[in-house]
């Protein structure tokens, strides 16, 4: 409490007791001002009496403030007082700017709406014309793009076909791989059969025997020529394989970082393999000067002298022998055998993990997946199939790590599912089709043409599954072009994609294939299993 005196009259005072309540909260700063002369600061202040609390009745109350808004739209027009002036005596008003207004034809509501409808029809007519022009332009653009795409596809297919024919011609002229030579032997056999048929058809007696002798001599010459090419190609392929093997050993370690960059690192083992690779490539070169050859031999001698064993002693002895013969001015062609022996022994040196530690990793992988000699159960897989002049021939490649292919008698084995994981066990139901059986199916059942477009270009035809959910078999296949096969394998429901007549025609061809395969003993078990599975389904 605070006591103070209050002036009541002009000369009288009264003592008043003022009750001061100090708030429990801090009042906010409301601003102020400062006297520049005296430097006294004045703050703005506000006061608020404490509101009276309602008595607590022990009941929990909830309050929500609401406000209803009522809106009403009412047009209002204010009064506007105007006046007019007419001509009279003593006053002249000019009528030069006046307009004569006369009433027109009365327009009924029906006529008004009719005129509006005609205007709307005109607008719709112009809009539809504009829309039709845009649609036609879009169709023309799509047609142009489609024709351009078809022209590009046709050009691409033509180039692919020409390139394929060029490769086939090149493979016949310069065979490199085992498949190329098998193709040559098969073409030679076809030529021999055709010549035999021609001789039997046109000649008799002594002329026939003389023609057969000439044919046998030509065949022997061609076989000998193919054999010589095969020896040269095998030697070249072996040299390429050796260089590829050494290059793989000499490659640095690589890994991909988190930012996508490739990091390379050379280890002492890779550096050693690279050094040996460079030396081998140098000693394998021909037609180099004598001084460079001597430097290469001395480098090789120092390299192999680092390890003392029987192999290195033989290499050093051969190097000393070649150096001695070169000093005696021996001709180059007389040193070829000695140089080949040096290359062979040095290659054996490189493949020894004791002298080249990096090679141990590569040799371990090669030992797991292949052997130096062809294993007994080596199988072959089809690389491609062609039909020329109404005759089929196939090419096969060796696959040491595969259970699919052909056997020695030329049977074509089609795997049940190429998507099968390599570590999972193979299924036992494999379709074995011989070359003549496949030729019969293509020529007599499918007519050497596509089932969809009737395309007869045999270089563009492939046999794919009719129902991709089932395994391949002669009664679950269809002959199509490559583009048609890609589109066919993307289908999910054959009944919705093809017409009933087309499906019935394909089923009829499958029945023909079943009837033909029923006479093949090797296909009987597979056919019986297929029938049992169909009955179960």
The answer to the question of residue 146 being in a domain is no
Are residue 402 and residue 523 in the same domain, yes or no? yes
The answer to the question of residue 90 being in a domain is no
pLDDT in tens, 175-231: 888 888 888 888 899 899 999 999 998 888 888 899 999 999 999 999 999 999 899
Residue 305 CA to its chain's centroid (Å): 51
Are residue 271 and residue 245 in the same domain, yes or no? no
Sign of the Cα torsion 256, 257, 258, 259 reads negative
pLDDT of 49 reads 65
Are residue 437 and residue 522 in the same domain, yes or no? yes
Are residue 513 and residue 406 in the same domain, yes or no? yes
Are residue 405 and residue 509 in the same domain, yes or no? yes
Task: Give the list of residues 6+ apart from residue 123 with CB closer than 8 angstroms, or none.
Answer: none
Are residue 312 and residue 205 in the same domain, yes or no? no
pLDDT of 369 reads 35
pLDDT of 169 reads 86
d(CA 360, CA 390): 51
Q: Where among 204, 219, 250 does a domain terminate?
A: 250
Q: How many domains is the chain built from? A: 4
Q: Where among 191, 224, 250 does a domain terminate?
A: 250
Q: CB count, 10 Å around CB of 324? A: 10
φ and ψ of 412, to 5 deg: -95, 125
* Residue found under tokens 């351009």: 148
The answer to the question of residue 405 being in a domain is yes
The answer to the question of residue 20 being in a domain is yes
pLDDT in tens, 464-506: 899 888 888 888 899 998 888 999 999 888 888 899 999 999 9
Residues of the chain with pLDDT under 70: 1-4, 9-10, 23-26, 47-51, 63-69, 364-432, 522, 530-537
pLDDT of 345 reads 92
Are residue 402 and residue 487 in the same domain, yes or no? yes
* Residue found under tokens 């013969």: 325
Domain that holds residue 233: 178-250
Are residue 320 and residue 270 in the same domain, yes or no? yes
The answer to the question of residue 255 being in a domain is no
With helix as H, strand as E and coil as C, how does 338-385 read?
Answer: HHHHHHHHHHHHHCCCCCCCCHHHHHHHHHHHCCCCCCCCCEEEEEEE
Q: CB count, 10 Å around CB of 403? A: 15
The answer to the question of residue 374 being in a domain is no
């Amino acid at each position: 409490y605070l006591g103070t005196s209050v002036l009541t009259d002009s000369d009288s005072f009264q003592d008043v007791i003022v009750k001061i309540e100090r708030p429990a909260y801090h009042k906010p700063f409301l601003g102020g001002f400062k006297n520049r002369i005296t430097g006294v600061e004045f703050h703005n202040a506000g006061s608020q009496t404490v509101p009276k609390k309602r008595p607590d009745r022990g009941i929990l109350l909830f309050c929500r403030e609401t406000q209803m808004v009522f809106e009403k739209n009412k047009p209002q027009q204010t009064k506007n007082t105007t006046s007019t002036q007419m001509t009279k005596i003593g006053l002249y008003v000019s009528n030069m700017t006046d307009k004569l207004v006369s009433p027109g034809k009365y327009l009924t509501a029906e006529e008004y709406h009719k005129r509006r409808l005609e205007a709307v029809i005109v607008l719709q007519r112009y809009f539809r014309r504009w829309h039709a022009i845009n649609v036609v332009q879009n169709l023309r653009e799509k047609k142009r793009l489609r024709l351009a795409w078809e022209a590009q596809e046709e050009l691409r297919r033509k180039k692919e076909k020409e390139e394929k024919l060029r490769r086939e011609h090149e493979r016949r002229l310069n065979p490199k791989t085992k498949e190329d030579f098998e193709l040559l032997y098969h073409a030679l056999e076809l030529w021999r059969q055709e010549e035999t048929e021609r001789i039997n058809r046109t000649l008799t007696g002594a002329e026939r025997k003389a023609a057969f002798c000439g044919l046998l001599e030509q065949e022997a010459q061609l076989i000998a020529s193919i054999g010589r090419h095969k020896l040269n190609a095998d030697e070249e392929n072996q040299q390429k394989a050796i260089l590829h093997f050494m290059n793989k050993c000499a490659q640095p370690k690589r890994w991909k970082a988190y930012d996508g960059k490739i990091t390379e690192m050379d280890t002492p083992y890779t550096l050693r393999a690279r050094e040996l690779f460079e030396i081998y490539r140098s000693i394998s070169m021909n037609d180099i000067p004598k001084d460079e050859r001597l430097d290469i031999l001395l480098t090789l001698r120092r390299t192999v002298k680092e390890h003392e064993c029987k192999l290195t002693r033989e290499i050093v002895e051969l190097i000393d022998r070649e150096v001695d013969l070169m000093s005696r001015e021996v001709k180059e062609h007389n040193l070829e055998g000695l140089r080949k022996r040096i290359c062979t022994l040095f290659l054996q040196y490189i493949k020894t993990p004791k002298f080249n530690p990096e090679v141990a990793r590569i040799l371990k992988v090669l030992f797991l997946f292949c052997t130096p000699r062809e294993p007994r159960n080596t199988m072959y897989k089809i690389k491609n199939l062609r039909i020329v002049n109404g005759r089929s021939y196939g090419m096969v490649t060796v696959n040491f790590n595969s259970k699919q292919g052909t056997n020695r008698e030329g049977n074509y084995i089609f795997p049940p599912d190429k998507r099968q994981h390599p570590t999972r066990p193979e299924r036992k139901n494999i379709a074995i089709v011989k070359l003549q059986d496949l030729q019969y199916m293509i020529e007599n059942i499918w007519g050497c043409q596509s089932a969809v477009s009737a395309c007869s270009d045999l270089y563009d035809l492939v046999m794919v599954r009719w129902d991709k959910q089932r395994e391949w078999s002669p009664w679950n296949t269809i002959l199509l072009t490559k583009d048609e096969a890609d589109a066919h394998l993307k289908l999910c429901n054959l009944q919705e994609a093809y017409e009933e007549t087309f499906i019935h025609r394909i089923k009829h061809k499958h029945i023909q294939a079943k009837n033909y395969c029923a006479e093949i003993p090797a296909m009987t078990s597979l056919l019986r299993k297929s029938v049992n599975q169909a009955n179960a389904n």
